[in-house]
Amino acid sequence: MEYLGTIGILIAIYIILAASYNLVIGYGGLATVAHPIFFAIGAYVSGLLAIHTTLPPPVSVLVGSGCAMLASLLLAASALRVSGDYLLIASLGFQLGLLQLIKNLAFTGGPGGLGGIPATIVGPSRTPVYLAIAVVLAIATVFAIRALVRGPYGRAITAMRDEELAFSALGRNAMSMKLVIFAIGCGIAGIAGGIYTFYFQYISPDQFEVLQSAAILTMVVLGGMGTAFGPVVGAVLLLAIPQAITFLQLPPSIMAPMQGIIFTLLVLVFLFLRPAGILGDTGRRRRSAGLT
């Protein structure tokens, strides 16, 4: 049960990550790969606060999220000022640079990671309580984003992605909208990082490598970019499959490469059969996801 609970928490955390990434890249059309680094900022800041201060955990998580938001604004304000395409390369550099910094600073635990994060909840109810918190937050994230993109705000985002020049010439401030979308998405990733830290009590820089960017992107693309529930489907699928094949009792020499092969196969199959993702539609919804 403990094991399944942990997987459930992990899935909920990745739903939050994938949904917020989908807001940025799927709806906002902002090509960034640095989502895991905002996850990391949330995780490290709240972890360090938990170790060195007596702040209540929710406050630590919120401060971590605020730091992720601020960092995202720094990145976006400089990269988007040049041009939208610049964000992709700037975000990659930002991610690699910050990760190097984390690996080389003493107070973050360096390459060995940050351990000794105090347990806030002890006893047998620990995992169920965390599971409940994570699931509620995941549901709240998915539905809040859905509500946001369904209303006038979502209409403005779609218009901006369709024709930014015409959008601006109608009196809309595209730059500030992009910054807001980016900051919200990255702030939510920071919250996911905080929950991760408090539950697992240990974080290592390896978890936030570019491979993570690929994993979260795959979840979003597989589920359906620019759809409200696509990231949920993607996150569940990508986290459940590796767990499921462990039940096959295969020898480790086969198991390890199996996961990579299955992921690659999935992506290839989807590219051919459902390029808009599982929940993505052809036609109108697909166009609004910016895939055509």
Partner 1 sequence: MSHVLRTEGLNKRFGGIVVCDDVNLTIAGGEILGLIGPNGAGKTSLFNLISGVLRPDSGTIRLNGKAVNGEPLYRRARLGVARTWQHMLLFRSMTVMENMLVAPRHYPGESILRVTVGRAGVRSAERTARERAHAILDRMALDGTADMPVTDLPFGQQKLIGLARALMNDGPLLLLDEPMAGVEGAAYETMQRVVRQEAESGRAICVVEHNVSFIRDLCSRAVFMINGRILQDGPVEELISSTTLTELYFGA
Residues forming contacts to partner 1 in the complex (CB under 8 A) are 148, 151-153, 155-156, 158-159, 162-163, 165-174, 177, 180, 184, 284, 287-288
Q: Residue 38 Cβ, how far from partner 1 at the closest point, in Å?
A: 18
Q: Residue 271 Cβ, how far from partner 1 at the closest point, in Å?
A: 22
**Which tokens hold the place of 29?**
């059309």
**Which tokens hold the place of 209?**
């490598």
**What three-state secondary structure class fits 274?**
coil
Q: Residue 83 Cβ, how far from partner 1 at the closest point, in Å?
A: 15
* Closest to partner 1 by CB, 167 or 270: 167
Q: Residue 150 Cβ, how far from partner 1 at the closest point, in Å?
A: 10
* Closest to partner 1 by CB, 274 or 287: 287
* Closest to partner 1 by CB, 91 or 158: 158
Q: Are 42 and 101 in contact (CB under 8 A)?
A: no
Q: How far is CA 57 from CA 50, 173, 198, in A?
A: 7, 36, 8
* Closest to partner 1 by CB, 126 or 287: 287
Q: Is 238 exposed, middle or buried (0-12, 13-18, 19+ CB in 10 A)?
A: buried
**Which tokens hold the place of 81?**
């000022």
* Closest to partner 1 by CB, 129 or 156: 156
Residue the block writes with tokens 């910054």: 179
Question: Among positive and negative, which fits the CA dihedral 253, 233, 131, 37?
Answer: positive
Q: Residue 164 Cβ, how far from partner 1 at the closest point, in Å?
A: 9
Query: What secondary structure does DSSP assign to 126-142, as a single string?
Result: HHHHHHHHHHHHHHHHH
Residue 229 DSSP code? S
* Closest to partner 1 by CB, 170 or 250: 170
Query: What secondary structure does DSSP assign to 192-222, as a single string?
Result: HHHHHHHHHS-B-GGGGSHHHHHHHHHHHHH
Q: Residue 151 Cβ, how far from partner 1 at the closest point, in Å?
A: 6
